[in-house]
Chain A
C-alpha cells in the first residue's frame, strides 16, 4: 500500500523512511500473531483489512473528511466523550501509543522511568510516525495519572492540546467538576467546528456510540460460551480498532461477526479446545500493536475470554441513558455515564474490585492475569488489591509487569506457562 499513500504521508510531514520501517515491522508482527491463528471467523477479514489499511485508507478517509470541513479530534483515553465530537460532526480517533517508537526522542521530553504508553505517544509525535496525530485539528488529553498530565504539558509544545481535568473521587463535588469539564470541552469543540451541540445532534451521537458499545457488549457476552468461540487476540484487536474506525461501519461489522459467533456456539465449535484454560486479562490498556502478552498467553495453550481494561470492558460496560429530551438532560446523562468508569486514577476505587470479580465469574475463567505497564503506579497499586480480592474469592491470579520491548518474552512465557500449570 505504501506507494499509493506516499504523497498523503508526505503532506502529513511523516518521516517516510522510518514510517516504512514501522509498517513493515507491524505487518510482520501482525502476520505472526494474527494470520497464523487456526479457525478464524470470516468476520475477521474485515478487521484484517482495516488493520492493513490502518495508516492508509483510514487516513485517506480522515483527509477526505477534513476536505469537507470536518475536524479531526485525537484522544488517548476513554474519558473523552466521543458523543460530543460526533454531535458537532467531528471525527474522533485514538492516537498511536502501542509500539516502541521514537523512545530516545521521547526521553528528551519526559523522564526515562515513564510508562511505555506515554513514551510511545510522545515518541510517535517527535519521530513523525503517526499519521493520526499529524491529521488532528485538536488533541484532547486528560489528567488520569501524573505521568500523562505532566507529559501533556510537554506535548502541548508540539500539538494543539485541550486538557480535561478528570476528577479522582466520585463525590458530588467531583461530579460537578466533571460536568464543568464536559461543558468546557463542548465549548472548545463548538469553537473548533463552528457548530453548536444541540439536543438533536447529541441524541443521535449518543445513539451511535451506544450502538457500538452494545455490539461490543454482545461480543463480550458471547465469550462466556464454553468452548470460547473467538480468540482473545482477535477481540483485543476489535477493541483496538473500535478507537479509530468509523463507528457506524464498525458497529455493523461487529454485529455481523457476532451472528457468526452465535452460529459457532450453536454448533459447539470453539477457537480452542473446551478444556483450554480460560484466562481474563485485567489492568492497563493495550494500544495497537501491543499484542505481546496476549500472544504469549494464547500460544501457551490458554484462551483469553475477557479484557478488564480501557481497551476492553471499561470502555463498553456502561451505556449513556438515551431517555433525555433536553440538552441539559443529555449532558447530565453523559456525565453520569462517564463517572462510572472505574479507572485506577480514582480513590477509592472499590467498584473496580467488584467489577473484576463479577466479570471473572460471568466468563467462567480459570484465572486472571493482571497486566501492568512498568512505571504505571495506579494499576500496579490496584494490582495488590485486585489480587487480594480474587484470592479471597478463590480465583487464581498472577500479576505481570512489562513494557513494549521483546527482551522479556521468554521470562513471560515461563511465568504464564507456570501459572497455567497451577490452574489446569
Chain B
C-alpha cells in the first residue's frame, strides 16, 4: 500500500492506495499534537512508502515510520487529487482551514499557475469557523443556516476580527442573523472568485477542501463564477480527502519510476 498523508491546520487525512485503487481512508483533527495524531492514524497500516503534504508535511519525515516518506506541497497534491476525480477539470479551488488556493490545471493534473491567500486567514475555513461562533452555531451547520437568508448585507471586511465587528454592528441595526450569515459567506465567495480570475478561471472548476461541504459556499461560488453545480462546478464526494488522495497518487507515480 502507498499512503498519502495530508496534515492541515485543522485536520489530518490519510488515504491508502493499492493497485490504483483507494483501499483506506482515515481522518482525525490536527490538535496541538499532530505527530501523535499521525501515529494514531497510521496504527496498524503497513505501507511501502508515503507522501506527506500540507503544513505539517515535514513532521512526518522525522517520524521514522519504517518506510520512505517524500513530501509535496498541498498545491501539487490538490491538483493531482482533483484531476483524479475529474480529469476534465481546468481549475481547482481549495478552501482549507488556514489557506485558500486557486490552481490552473495543466493536462495530467499538473499545476500551471497558482494563487494563495497571504499570511492572514481571510476567506478560509478558519474565517467561517470564527464567524459561526458569533452565531453560536457549529461550523458544519453554518452554511445551511446562511441559506435561510434572502437579502445579504455587504460585508466589506475580510479580516476575521473586523468581520466580527461588522457582523455585530449589523445585528445591532436589526438585520436578520441569517442574512448576516449569508453576507459573510458572500464576502468569501467574492474574494475567492477574484483569486480564481487571477489564475485565469477556466471550466470545469473543481471545488475541494473542507469548505466545499458547505452548501451555501457552493451556491454562492457558482453564482460568483457563473458556473452550474454538477456541470461546470464539480465537487468530489469527499472534498476534504483530495489532498491526501493527491499525495497518495504521487506516491504511486514515484513507486512506478
Contact = CB atoms under 8 A, between A and B. Distances in A.
Interface of A: 401, 407-408, 410-411, 414-415, 417-418, 421-422
A418 B111 contact: yes
Given A414-B73, A414-B74, A417-B73, A422 B116 contact: no
A152 B110 CA distance: 48
B74 to A, nearest CB: 7
Contact of B118 (A408, A410, A417, A422): A408
B121 to A, nearest CB: 11
A422 B119 contact: no
26 contacts: A401-B118, A407-B119, A408-B119, A410-B55, A411-B116, A411-B118, A414-B55, A414-B73, A414-B74, A414-B75, A414-B99, A415-B116, A417-B73, A418-B73, A418-B75, A418-B76, A418-B111, A418-B114, A421-B72, A421-B73, A421-B75, A421-B76, A421-B111, A422-B110, A422-B111, A422-B113
B112 interface: yes
Contacts of B114: 418, 422
Interface string B60-85: 00000000000011111000000000
B109 to A, nearest CB: 12
A293 to B, nearest CB: 14
A23 B110 CA distance: 45
A411 B112 contact: no
B110 to A, nearest CB: 7
Nearest to A420: B73
Contacts of B76: 418, 421
A142 B112 CA distance: 40
Contacts of A407: 119
Interface of B: 55, 72-76, 99, 110-114, 116, 118-119
Given A401-B118, A411-B116, A414-B55, 16 more contacts: A410-B55, A411-B99, A411-B119, A414-B74, A414-B75, A414-B99, A417-B73, A418-B73, A418-B76, A418-B114, A418-B116, A421-B76, A421-B111, A422-B111, A422-B113, A422-B114
Of all A-B residue pairs in the complex, the 5 with the closest CB atoms, nearest first, are A418-B75, A418-B73, A408-B119, A417-B73, A421-B76
A366 to B, nearest CB: 15
Contacts, number: 34
Contact of B112 (A401, A414, A422): A422
A96 B236 CA distance: 53
Contacts of A410: 55
B111 to A, nearest CB: 5
A418 B102 CA distance: 12
Contacts of B73: 414, 417-418, 421
Contacts of A415: 116
Central interface residue in A407, A411, A417, A418, by most chain B CB within 10 Å: A418
A411 B121 CA distance: 11
A421 B75 CA distance: 9
A50 B118 CA distance: 36
Contacts of B112: 422
A415 B112 CA distance: 13
Nearest to A400: B118
A407 B118 CA distance: 11
A421 B114 CA distance: 11
Contacts of B110: 422
A407 to B, nearest CB: 6
Contacts of B75: 414, 418, 421
Contacts of B55: 410, 414
A311 to B, nearest CB: 24
A401 to B, nearest CB: 7
A277 to B, nearest CB: 14
Nearest to A401: B118
A415 B119 CA distance: 11
A411 B54 CA distance: 11
Nearest to A399: B115
Contacts of B113: 422
Central interface residue in A401, A407, A410, by most chain B CB within 10 Å: A410
Nearest to A416: B73
B87 to A, nearest CB: 19
Nearest to B114: A418
Contacts of A417: 73
B68 to A, nearest CB: 17
A408 B114 CA distance: 18
Contacts of B72: 421
Nearest to B113: A422
A137 B188 CA distance: 54
Contacts of A422: 110-114
A411 B101 CA distance: 12
Nearest to A422: B111
A421 B55 CA distance: 16
B58 to A, nearest CB: 9
Contacts of A421: 72-73, 75-76, 111
A422 B115 CA distance: 13
B116 A414 contact: yes
Nearest to A408: B119
Nearest to A300: B73
Nearest to B101: A418
A381 B113 CA distance: 20
A415 B99 CA distance: 11
Nearest to B54: A414
B96 to A, nearest CB: 11
Contacts of B111: 418, 421-422
B101 to A, nearest CB: 9
Nearest to B112: A422
A421 B73 CA distance: 8
Contacts of B116: 411, 414-415, 418
A407 B119 CA distance: 8
A168 B12 CA distance: 53
Contacts of A418: 73-76, 111, 114, 116
A14 B111 CA distance: 51
Nearest to B74: A414
A408 B116 CA distance: 13
